[in-house]
């Protein structure tokens, strides 16, 4: 069996491009957890923690609060222990929420466009929107949600 890679805080901070203090803070708030401790009592973090930390960084960039991040990541962890599936679904959820926020930001601008301008923009969006909706419907059907 292959040995699991474990990182000390300094190594983890370089890989995730965050400060060691940020890692300490996220550990103290429960956003991440050390996998184990070394013989010298250093906290050791796994690749799974590195992936989780990168997702936290991305969600912070997308203006999520720490509480929203913790809730989202904890919810996905309950659904699937498979890191890859969990990561993909979290990414999809983040993309959908980002799109929803962007659409809300565009609504006031779109309402001020002239009908011809609006029609031209909507014609460009229809093919991508239809493909996205179809893909989401297939995903929901496979999950037995529809």
The pLDDT of residue 2 is 55
Q: Which residues contact 127 (CB under 8 A, 6 or more apart)?
A: none
Angle at 90 between CA 9 and CA 68, to 5 degrees: 75
The pLDDT tens digits of the residues spanning 7-17 come to 999 999 999 99
Other beta carbons less than 10 A from residue 87's beta carbon: 17
Mean pLDDT comparison of 71-85, 114-128, 131-145, highest-scoring range: 114-128
Q: Which residues contact 97 (CB under 8 A, 6 or more apart)?
A: 62
Mean pLDDT comparison of 82-91, 97-106, 121-130, highest-scoring range: 97-106
Residue length, the chain? 146
DSSP state of 117: H
The pLDDT of residue 131 is 75
The pLDDT tens digits of the residues spanning 23-53 come to 999 999 989 999 888 889 889 999 888 988 9
How far apart are alpha carbons 1 and 50 in whole angstroms? 21
């Amino acid at each position: 069996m292959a040995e699991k890679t474990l990182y000390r805080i300094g190594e983890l901070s370089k890989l995730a491009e965050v400060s060691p203090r940020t890692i300490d803070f996220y550990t103290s708030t429960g956003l991440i957890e050390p996998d184990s401790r070394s013989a010298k009592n250093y906290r050791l973090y796994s690749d799974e923690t590195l992936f989780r930390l990168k997702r936290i960084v991305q969600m912070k960039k997308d203006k999520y609060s720490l509480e929203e991040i913790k809730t989202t990541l904890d919810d996905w962890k309950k659904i699937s222990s498979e890191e890859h599936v969990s990561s993909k679904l979290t990414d999809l959820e983040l993309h959908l929420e980002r799109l929803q926020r962007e659409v809300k930001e565009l609504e006031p601008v779109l309402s001020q466009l002239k009908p011809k301008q609006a029609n031209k923009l909507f014609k460009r969006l229809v093919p991508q929107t239809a493909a996205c909706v179809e893909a989401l419907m297939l995903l929901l059907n496979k999950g037995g949600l529809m």
